[in-house]
Structure 1
Amino acid sequence: MKPEALLFAGVAAFFLITDAFYIWLAREPAGAAALAVSFGMAAVISFFCAVNYRRKGERPEDRGGAKVHERTGTVDFFPPQSGYPVLVAFGVALLALGLVYGLWVFLIGVGVTGGSVFGMVFQFAQREL
């Protein structure tokens, strides 16, 4: 993950420098905000890759002389089934409808979305590693 972290750090630096020049030359808030958000997204991806590299170490794909069999074994945990994604979608739909029909529908959507995202995140928190 180290090459990916460096790649996205370079992308984030590019957006940061571009944003600074854009703010200085254009003085237009919409483009500056878009470049700032682009910098933030690239920085988050770079941070994620760097943390994974520190936590898991070098992968076989990162070495030039690696063999295919070095990557065998358990890849990760994949949940068999979950009803939470449907609840998240329903909650987001309620949020969108709440923008049209009123605050009370929006607040119900916030509750449904928040609860279902919490459930989806912690559904398998007590599983055996």
Structure 2
Amino acid sequence: MKAESALFAGVSLFFAVSALVYGWFSAEPAGTAALAVSCLMSALVAFFLWQRHRKDGPLPQDEKEAPVHVAAGPVAFFPPSSAFPVLAAAGTALLGLGAVYGLWLFLIGAGVLVPGILGFVFQYGSRDA
């Protein structure tokens, strides 16, 4: 996680310099505030990754000569096929359209989205973990 921490620290530095330059040459504060918040958010991620690196030590990805099998973990279960992602996506789209066109379409979207989410959650509920 050392490389990831350095990457996000660089992103934070970029946003900090951009905020300073933008704030100096611009008359409106909204862009400067957005860049400053972006700097703080990326600095938070960099700090988190740095703390995890200090606590957990180097990962296999941090070592140049680490073999691939060292970083391999258990293989997770991936469902072969499911209609629930399509149902959830359609429900989300209808919710968004309902926010624009009216309550009736919003309610239809909620009626489509709820079974999609419940199907996602409980589709393989009886399967042993």
The answer to whether 1:66 aligns with 2:66 is yes
Counterpart-to-counterpart distance in 2, 1:9 and 1:16:
10
Provide the residue aligned with 1:19 in structure 2: 19
Distance 2:50 2:123 in 1: 26
Measured in 1, the distance between the counterparts of 2:10 and 2:94 equals 39
User: What is the CA–CA distance in structure 1 between the aligned matches of 2:60 and 2:32, rounded to whole Å?
Assistant: 40
RMSD: 4.2
Structure 1, unpaired ranges of 5+? none
Unaligned runs of 5+ in 2: none
1:110-121 matches, within 5 Å, as 113=113, 116=116, 120=120
Total equivalences in the alignment? 127
- Percentage of matched positions with identical amino acids: 49
Q: Alpha-carbon deviations, 1:76-109, whole Å to 9, x = none?
A: 5243144432133112210232144213423553
Partner of 2:27, secondary structure, is coil
TM-score (norm 2): 0.59
For the residues of structure 2 that align with 1:51 and 1:105, how far apart are their CA atoms?
Answer: 47
Mapped partners of 2:93, 2:47: distance in 1: 31
- Please list every run of at least 4 consecutive aligned residues from structure 1 whose deviation after the TM superposition is greater than 6 angstroms: 121-126
Higher Rg: 2
TM-score normalized with structure 1 length: 0.59
Q: Give the match's secondary structure for 1:65.
A: coil
SS in structure 2 of the partner of residue 7 of structure 1: helix
- Aligned residue for 1:27, secondary structure, equals coil
Seen in structure 2, the aligned counterparts of structure 1 residues 122 and 50 have a Cα distance that, compared at 3 Å, is: farther
- SS at 1:18's partner residue? helix
